[in-house]
Amino acid sequence: MSWTAFLQDLGERQEHALTPHELEVILCLREEPGQSKQHLLEAYQHRQGPIEEEAFTQRLRTIYRKFNISGRGYKLPQLQRYLAQQYQQSGPGLSRFGLSRIHAAFPTDTFAAALERLIHDGGEAQPEDPKEVAILQTFAPNLEHYRVQLSRCLQAGVRVRILLAWPYSLAAGLREQVLTRYADEPLAEDFAIQGSVIANLETLEATIRASRHPANLEIRLYDTLPSLALYRAGSTLLAAPFLHGALAVHTFQLELDLRASDALLTGTLLNDFERMWTVARPFLPAPDRNWRNELKILFTN
């Protein structure tokens, strides 16, 4: 993981609770020691634009407090040493394969922040950082939560690809059985994969209706068994296994940086997504069509 990627990840962690303006300051810190407050201010102004020195100082004070930097001495060197130690402890290890963090459950704020970066940057793709959103799920329990941001991604010219299970498939039925039979926590009485996928499609129908650029949204349904749930926004990828008795969003999540120097892990996951994308069938829950009937016969011919 690069120094910049490390700072970005550190600044977005919930335990620090940095505001976007404070994160902008953090991202101007250099890896090597000796950066003065004046040099930091100049780096910030070059990157973000003019700011009053008093306002900048106030942001620094808040950052020191949030990182528990205290004492009577100069605090900026303390902050730099602390961050450098954290960066070194992250080590080359699995970071060269892109592993940034492991979350206990789906990190809602992390994915939301990655979507916001895409919206802010727009659809201008870079070879090393493609501007794309991709979701692979049986059904996505949190899709409605991101509906507004997905609409904004479409408006910004970002390609959005979503892979869901064909709700009438044998695979969907088997997944429902292992969820209900081995559930760690009680599921809703009316829980069903079929209804959950259709609810996702209704969310996407509303997204299409509200978007001026619906062509940027591509939806496909698969009739096979995936091994992982994937959520991608730009260079951020979240991956979780399908375990017996637990929704994928409730199990551990691997947060991966697609800019990793070794693509063994990230490339394998992305290739699996592309393989499933190839065998899946396009489906459009268009607001002006009776798509629910079309859904039933999607894989029957």
Q: For residue 55, what pLDDT is reported?
A: 92
The pLDDT tens digits for 253-286 are 999 988 887 888 899 999 999 999 999 999 999 9
Distance CA 298, CA 96 (A): 42
DSSP string, 218-266: EEEEE-S--SEEEEEETTEEEEEE-BTTB-GGGS-EEEEETT-S--HHH
Residue 283's identity, in one-letter code, is: F
Beta-strand relationship, 253-257 and 159-165: unpaired
Q: What's 51-71 look like in SS3?
A: CCHHHHHHHHHHHHHHCCCCC
CA dist 176 → 2, 59, 125, 191 (Å) = 41, 49, 38, 9
Residues 6+ apart with CB under 8 A from 7: 26, 27, 29, 83
pLDDT at 91: 56
Q: What local confidence, expressed as pLDDT, does residue 122 receive?
A: 58
Residue 127 pLDDT: 45
Query: Model confidence over 212-230: pLDDT tens digits?
Result: 778 899 999 999 988 899 9
Type of residue found at 62 = T
For position 90, what pLDDT does the model report?
64
pLDDT at 88: 67
Give the predicted TM-score (pTM) of the model: 0.69
User: Which residues, including other chains, have CB under 8 Å from residue 58's CB and lie 6 or more apart?
Assistant: none
Would the CA dihedral through 142, 144, 150, 152 be positive or negative?
A: negative
pLDDT of res. 188: 73
Residue of higher predicted confidence among 152 and 87 = 152
pLDDT (tens digit, 9 = 90+) per residue, 60-74? 999 998 888 877 668
Segment among 12-21, 51-60, 88-97, 252-261 with least mean pLDDT: 88-97
Q: What is the pLDDT of residues 117-162, one digit of tens each?
A: 888 875 454 445 568 999 999 999 999 999 999 999 999 999 999 9
Q: What is the distance between the alpha carbons of residues 179 and 171, in angstroms, rounded to a whole number?
A: 12
The 10s digit of each residue's pLDDT in 36-63 is 999 999 999 988 889 999 999 999 999 9
Alpha helix positions (H), the chain = 3-12, 20-26, 37-48, 53-66, 75-90, 108-121, 147-155, 170-181, 193-210, 264-279, 291-296
Share of the chain above pLDDT 70, in %: 93
Of 188 and 58, the structure prediction assigns the larger pLDDT to 58
Mean pLDDT of the chain: 87
Cross-sheet strand order for the sheet of 228-233: 99-103, 253-257, 236-241, 228-233, 132-136, 159-165, 217-222, 281-282
